[in-house]
Amino acid sequence: MKRGPLLSWDIYSEYFYKFLKSLRKKQEVERLHKFQSKFNWDFQIEETLFKNEYKAIVVTDKNQKIIWVNDGFKDMTGYSLSFVKDKSPKLLQGEKTSKEALQNIKEHLAKESICETSMVNYRKDGSEYMCEIKIFPITNSKQQVEHYLALENESHLN
């Protein structure tokens, strides 16, 4: 079998993918800056997003009602911002969601500290996925927690 030459698209596609990813991240940073201005957040947005790998971003208020999700959240879960806005992230939980992971989150939120955990979540179509979550409390200018930012990745179920 004869193979043709390596096409420039093969090389360029990797660059293009990275470029699109950086554009998406830039848009997410800009959107979070708008929240930062609106709510007087004392939070390092760029540092947090660029130091952590994530696909989905979820921003909730202090009562854990969703105020914003990125496009990666829809890609990962099937739920749009318009559907999840003002709902709790609990809508992703189900029968196999770890009670220990939920307790871990509850304890960290009570201590206003960063929380990292993994648990089974459920997509809109009902399928399961392992969700790696890192939750950051976001304080206002008076150092009171007003919001939470969750960075999420999907990993393979064991």
Q: Which domains does the chain have, with CATH numbers?
A: 8-155 (3.30.450.20)
Judge contact between 56 and 76, C-beta under 8 A: yes
Q: What is the pLDDT of residue 31?
A: 96
Tell me the C-alpha distance between 24 and 102, whole Å: 30
Model confidence at 69, pLDDT cuts 50, 70, 90, reads very high
| pLDDT computed for residue 91 by the predictor | 96
Alpha-carbon distance 54 to 18, whole Å? Answer: 14
User: Comparing 49-53, 82-86, 130-134, which segment has the lowest mean pLDDT?
Assistant: 49-53
Kindly give, in sequence order, each residue whose CB lies less than 8 Å from that of residue 122, ignoring residues fewer than 6 positions away: 92, 93, 94, 97, 128, 129
Q: For residue 18, what pLDDT is reported? A: 81
Contact 135, 50 (CB under 8 A): no
Report the chain's C-alpha Rg in angstroms. Answer: 18
Element (DSSP H or E) covering residue 22? helix 8-39
Mean pLDDT of 72-85: 97
Burial class (CB in 10 A: 0-12, 13-18, 19+), 55: middle
46 and 144 in contact (C-beta within 8 Å)?
no
| 13-24 pLDDT, tens digit each | 777 778 888 888
**CB-count burial class (<10 Å; 0-12, 13-18, 19+) for 8:** exposed
3-state SS, residue 11: helix
